[in-house]
Chain A
Amino acid sequence: MTGTSLFHEQTARQRIAALVDPRSFAEMLPPPERLTSPYLAQLGIPVSFDDGVVIGKAKLGGKEIYIAAQVGQFVGGAVGEIHGAKLTGLFKAAARDQVPCVLIIESGGVRLHEGSAGEIAIAETMRAIFECRAKKVPTIAVIATDIGAYGGIGILSTCCDFRVMTEHGRLGISGPIVIEKWMGKKAYDSANRALVWKTSGGKTKYLLGDADALVHDSADAIRDAVAKLLGKSSAITLTSVKTRQKELEKRLKRFGDTADPDAVWKAMGVRDIAGASLASGPEFAAMAKRGK
């Protein structure tokens, strides 16, 4: 038996290369253009040629896509002015050209070192995502690492048509350390990694219906999941938002007073909690009755 490359261990560039058709990726605003953050430079913090996000055009299963991958190692994948403008531009291009857009997320949200510019960029990108959706251009977020999708990017990820997650992926707004500071260690021990993942990890998100696919931590599995979603879009209609409103109300009513994530799992049809905890993403998906 030999080991495999785990998606969550790859760099942003490796992830794109592993996900799309061989040699089909054409990077836009590539490193030789040296579009680096003037904010970081002023603060004496190392800059990066792609400002923490690699964007471009590629093919996936022969279909043209736009794709972006955030670099979690670089300032936590956080969104600064350039990073954010690249994302906005990419989704605007996707809307204009009616080409599906895949965003491999790995970001804690706004890059604090650049202040409000990153925050506005996230808001602008949200608008661009909805431009795509208005035109039925699929937008797909992939969340597969522990840096995950947090802060403004956590919110942004929920604006996309679909979210593909792995068991390593985390999705939320406030991180565990912030909540622990706010509520105390008793309410949320941020060092309790099992609790952190049961709160914000892919399995719980899939169970509650916030992730549309829960797959193996490999490029192959993610590619398959993305490929299946490329032809679909999730329309926003009066019926759809009313249905969603009911779902979310029901979820809040059922679990709003439930502190124990295991109780949520059980209520969602997971019988063997220990087994389900240890299970891989797809094993888990098979074990659990899909939640609404």
Chain B
Amino acid sequence: MTTAKTALRRLNKAQRLERVGKLARGKFVSPDNVPQLLKRIIEPGDILCLEGDNQKQADFLANQLATLDKKDLHDIHLVMSCITLPAHIELFKKGMIRQVDFCYAGPQGTAVADLVKAKKFPVGAIHTYNELYARYYIDLTPRVALIAAAQADRKGNLFLAANTEDTPAIVEPTAFSDGIVFAQVNEIVDKLPRIDIPADQVDFVVEAPYPMHLQALFTRDPAAITDVQVLMAMVALRGIYEKYEVQSLNHGVGFNTAAIELLLPTYGERLGLKGKICKYWMVNPLPTMIPAIESGWVESVFAVGGEVGMERYTAARSDVFFTGRDGSFHSNRAMGQLAGHYAIDMFIGASLQIDINGNSSTVSKNRITGFGGAPNMGCQPTGRRHPTKAWLKAGAEANPGPGSPPGRKLVVQMVETFQAGRVPTFVEELDAAEPSIRKALHGVTPVMIYGDDVTHIVTEEGIANLAACRSIAERQAAIRAVAGYTPVGLKRKKRETEELRRRGIVQMPEDVGVRPSEASRSLLATQDIKGLVRWSNGLYDPPSQFVDW
């Protein structure tokens, strides 16, 4: 009897495929038949993976799924990295979902918060990316995966173009566990530029009537960078990049780090840092990196996804970007996150809220966003063994005990003390710690980056070196010292701040050789999107909302 049991899953897949019958011609499904087909291949109780990545969305399949009724589709355990589309929310409203495990809900953060309040969002956990992918191989293996690709050929091989993102991490566990992989593609062609997913791992293909939705996420208009952000960027460059000789890194997607990228060819060059810092990047193809790349600062860039408009530029700079045999850009979120976890000297990013212990979050009662890739990179990888200059230097400062690694990854939070509308960034307690949120998350506070992992906080007031603090009280005093005129900052004690400054744990701009009066947008390599296009020699095609020429 045991022999039969070991093949039950395969048998079940065969039954599902059997039910499909004439709805598909081989692997190929016409768009009209998709709702029927979904009904027949998905069973109640299934773990269903709906590809919703940070950028690309299997939106046609999601929309078709949302047309079904609860009687056709219920008790679904939904797993997906990003809840992005109204169709995703619709599944919850219709009561089809028994449980959801996800990472991020940025664009639908408010809708998710509403669902939580209405008790219609049965969440297992909010994950970090690699954590969720990992669970696809352990206890959240999809029975059915609905994915998105750029092109398919007549055999069902898939081409993912610039936005590989999550696809391989979804397909592999599904395909190798007798699950069903169903891909929507923008077009079916005779010959693919390259094969990213072999036909062998694909069960169904539909040519969607509209191209898949791609979020333009990483385009930061230099025109929106402020003088204050330039000041912070200068402070970070001198006080962290230069000090630790940071060679490999990840940048967040905010304006703060965009300012740093645009200062490299100007201010960075003046400081003689070219070749010493910022050579290896794990980051999406950020348009604001173009001037640094064109000035020869950057050796390589590996990315978790693409960026709209960067296709021709990345193809033309194949010495820097990873490209396929066809010459076009390649990305991979799982591998990129792995690289960002183990192989970089520094992660630097922004956050909406930081508490007095250095924990940060973007979640509040009215907006539940979850995490992007930040936590995988913004943490200490204690599995790391290889040394680099920056890692060892940061480690030495942290004064590791006999049972700790000798090095430390630099995990830097770069924030202005106030957000827009005078909302303070620094708070005594995170909004995310609100009881209703913790209850929905089974007692877990959705912290983006834990204070223990953070090594530095940079604000317009200066740098707080948390790794060098020797006690919780000291860390709190260091945070207050750079929290400016927020309620948290107003509680600082002058003498304490001066003592921390004397010990170099708190550094004001002047202490790292930056004169605030020098901080000006005029230092940026370019002040607008048009300038980026010029820097790229016309290879960058910005999205239309950024074009005013």
* Chain B, Cβ-Cβ closest to A194: B547
- A91 contacts the other chain (Cβ, under 8 Å)? no
Tell me, rounded to whole Å, the shortest Cβ–Cβ distance linking B268 to chain A: 11
Partner of A197, one of B522, B525, B534, B548: B548
Collect the chain A residues with CB atoms within 8 Å of residue B525's CB: 1, 3
Asked if B545 contacts A193 (CB within 8 A), the reply is yes
Residues from 295 to 309 in B contacting A, C-beta threshold 8 Å: 295
- A167 contacts the other chain (Cβ, under 8 Å)? yes
Collect the chain B residues with CB atoms within 8 Å of residue A167's CB: 549
Asked if B538 contacts A3 (CB within 8 A), the reply is no
- B523 contacts the other chain (Cβ, under 8 Å)? yes
* Chain B, Cβ-Cβ closest to A277: B549
- A4 contacts the other chain (Cβ, under 8 Å)? yes
How many A-B pairs have beta carbons closer than 8 Å: the answer is 45
* Chain A, Cβ-Cβ closest to B534: A278
In the complex, per-residue mask of A8-38: 1 if CB is within 8 Å of any chain B CB, else 0: 0100000000000000000000000000000
- B521 contacts the other chain (Cβ, under 8 Å)? yes
From B295, B527, B548, name the one whose CB has the most chain A CB atoms within 10 angstroms.
B548
- B524 contacts the other chain (Cβ, under 8 Å)? yes
Q: Give the CA-CA distance A80 to B424 in the complex, in Å.
A: 35
Given contacts A3-B527, A6-B527, A9-B527, contact A191 B522 (CB under 8 A): no
- B56 contacts the other chain (Cβ, under 8 Å)? no
Q: Give the CA-CA distance A167 to B531 in the complex, in Å.
A: 13
Asked if B544 contacts A2 (CB within 8 A), the reply is no
Given contacts A4-B522, A167-B549, A278-B549, contact A192 B544 (CB under 8 A): yes
Collect the chain B residues with CB atoms within 8 Å of residue A6's CB: 522, 527
Asked if B266 contacts A3 (CB within 8 A), the reply is yes
Given contacts A278-B530, A278-B533, A278-B538, contact A3 B548 (CB under 8 A): no
Collect the chain A residues with CB atoms within 8 Å of residue B546's CB: 193
Collect the chain B residues with CB atoms within 8 Å of residue A191's CB: 545
Collect the chain B residues with CB atoms within 8 Å of residue A277's CB: 549
Collect the chain A residues with CB atoms within 8 Å of residue B179's CB: none
Residues from 187 to 215 in A contacting B, C-beta threshold 8 Å: 191-194, 196-197
Collect the chain B residues with CB atoms within 8 Å of residue A4's CB: 522
Q: Give the CA-CA distance A84 to B524 in the complex, in Å.
A: 36
Tell me, rounded to whole Å, the shortest Cβ–Cβ distance linking B229 to chain A: 14
Tell me, rounded to whole Å, the shortest Cβ–Cβ distance linking A102 to chain B: 23
- A237 contacts the other chain (Cβ, under 8 Å)? no
Tell me, rounded to whole Å, the shortest Cβ–Cβ distance linking A28 to chain B: 28
Main secondary structure of the interface of B (DSSP, over half): helix
* Chain A, Cβ-Cβ closest to B546: A193
In the complex, per-residue mask of B516-539: 1 if CB is within 8 Å of any chain A CB, else 0: 000011111111001001100010
* Chain B, Cβ-Cβ closest to A192: B544
Asked if B527 contacts A193 (CB within 8 A), the reply is no
Q: Give the CA-CA distance A1 to B549 in the complex, in Å.
A: 24
Asked if A1 contacts B547 (CB within 8 A), the reply is no
Q: Give the CA-CA distance A193 to B520 in the complex, in Å.
A: 26
Q: Give the CA-CA distance A165 to B533 in the complex, in Å.
A: 22
* Chain B, Cβ-Cβ closest to A275: B538
Given contacts A3-B266, A9-B527, A278-B534, contact A193 B548 (CB under 8 A): yes
In the complex, per-residue mask of B307-345: 1 if CB is within 8 Å of any chain A CB, else 0: 000000000000000000000000000000000000000
Asked if A3 contacts B549 (CB within 8 A), the reply is no
Collect the chain A residues with CB atoms within 8 Å of residue B545's CB: 191, 193
- A5 contacts the other chain (Cβ, under 8 Å)? yes
Asked if B523 contacts A3 (CB within 8 A), the reply is yes
Collect the chain A residues with CB atoms within 8 Å of residue B526's CB: 3
Tell me, rounded to whole Å, the shortest Cβ–Cβ distance linking B291 to chain A: 9
Collect the chain A residues with CB atoms within 8 Å of residue B524's CB: 3
Q: Give the CA-CA distance A206 to B241 in the complex, in Å.
A: 46
In the complex, per-residue mask of B393-423: 1 if CB is within 8 Å of any chain A CB, else 0: 0000000000000000000000000000000
Tell me, rounded to whole Å, the shortest Cβ–Cβ distance linking B422 to chain A: 15
Tell me, rounded to whole Å, the shortest Cβ–Cβ distance linking A202 to chain B: 11
- B375 contacts the other chain (Cβ, under 8 Å)? no
Q: Give the CA-CA distance A194 to B544 in the complex, in Å.
A: 8
Collect the chain A residues with CB atoms within 8 Å of residue B530's CB: 278
Tell me, rounded to whole Å, the shortest Cβ–Cβ distance linking B101 to chain A: 37
Tell me, rounded to whole Å, the shortest Cβ–Cβ distance linking B526 to chain A: 7
Collect the chain B residues with CB atoms within 8 Å of residue A1's CB: 265-266, 269, 295, 525
Residues from 144 to 180 in A contacting B, C-beta threshold 8 Å: 146, 167
Q: Give the CA-CA distance A4 to B270 in the complex, in Å.
A: 15
Residues from 359 to 375 in B contacting A, C-beta threshold 8 Å: none
Asked if A3 contacts B522 (CB within 8 A), the reply is yes
Q: Give the CA-CA distance A167 to B548 in the complex, in Å.
A: 10
Tell me, rounded to whole Å, the shortest Cβ–Cβ distance linking A83 to chain B: 26
Residues from 130 to 153 in A contacting B, C-beta threshold 8 Å: 146
Q: Give the CA-CA distance A54 to B331 in the complex, in Å.
A: 53
Tell me, rounded to whole Å, the shortest Cβ–Cβ distance linking A143 to chain B: 16
Tell me, rounded to whole Å, the shortest Cβ–Cβ distance linking B231 to chain A: 15
Collect the chain A residues with CB atoms within 8 Å of residue B270's CB: 2
Given contacts A3-B266, A9-B521, contact A194 B548 (CB under 8 A): yes
Collect the chain A residues with CB atoms within 8 Å of residue B534's CB: 278
* Chain B, Cβ-Cβ closest to A274: B538
Tell me, rounded to whole Å, the shortest Cβ–Cβ distance linking A190 to chain B: 12
Q: Give the CA-CA distance A166 to B288 in the complex, in Å.
A: 24
* Chain B, Cβ-Cβ closest to A146: B548
Tell me, rounded to whole Å, the shortest Cβ–Cβ distance linking B307 to chain A: 20
Collect the chain B residues with CB atoms within 8 Å of residue A197's CB: 548-549
Asked if A2 contacts B523 (CB within 8 A), the reply is yes
* Chain A, Cβ-Cβ closest to B525: A3
Collect the chain B residues with CB atoms within 8 Å of residue A278's CB: 530, 533-534, 538, 549
* Chain B, Cβ-Cβ closest to A2: B266
Tell me, rounded to whole Å, the shortest Cβ–Cβ distance linking B395 to chain A: 36
Q: Give the CA-CA distance A194 to B295 in the complex, in Å.
A: 29
Collect the chain B residues with CB atoms within 8 Å of residue A196's CB: 548
Q: Give the CA-CA distance A277 to B541 in the complex, in Å.
A: 13
Tell me, rounded to whole Å, the shortest Cβ–Cβ distance linking B113 to chain A: 28
Q: Give the CA-CA distance A9 to B548 in the complex, in Å.
A: 16
* Chain B, Cβ-Cβ closest to A6: B527
Q: Give the CA-CA distance A194 to B524 in the complex, in Å.
A: 24
From B523, B525, B549, name the one whose CB has the most chain A CB atoms within 10 angstroms.
B549
Q: Give the CA-CA distance A4 to B520 in the complex, in Å.
A: 10
Q: Give the CA-CA distance A4 to B531 in the complex, in Å.
A: 12
* Chain A, Cβ-Cβ closest to B528: A6
Q: Knowing that A5-B520, A191-B545 are A-B contacts, what are 16 other residue pairs whose CB atoms are under 8 Å apart, sorted by A's residue number?
A: A1-B265, A1-B525, A2-B523, A3-B521, A3-B522, A3-B524, A3-B527, A5-B522, A9-B522, A9-B527, A167-B549, A193-B545, A197-B548, A197-B549, A278-B533, A278-B534
Q: Which 9 A-B pairs have the closest CB atoms?
A: A193-B548, A277-B549, A5-B522, A3-B522, A194-B547, A197-B548, A2-B266, A3-B524, A3-B523
Sample 27 A-B pairs with CB under 8 A, ordered by A number. Answer: A1-B265, A1-B269, A1-B295, A2-B523, A3-B266, A3-B523, A3-B524, A3-B526, A3-B527, A4-B522, A5-B520, A5-B522, A6-B522, A9-B522, A167-B549, A192-B544, A193-B546, A193-B547, A194-B544, A194-B547, A194-B548, A194-B549, A197-B549, A277-B549, A278-B530, A278-B533, A278-B538
A residues with a Cβ closer than 8 A to B are: 1-6, 9, 146, 167, 191-194, 196-197, 277-278
B residues with a Cβ closer than 8 A to A are: 265-266, 269-270, 295, 520-527, 530, 533-534, 538, 544-549
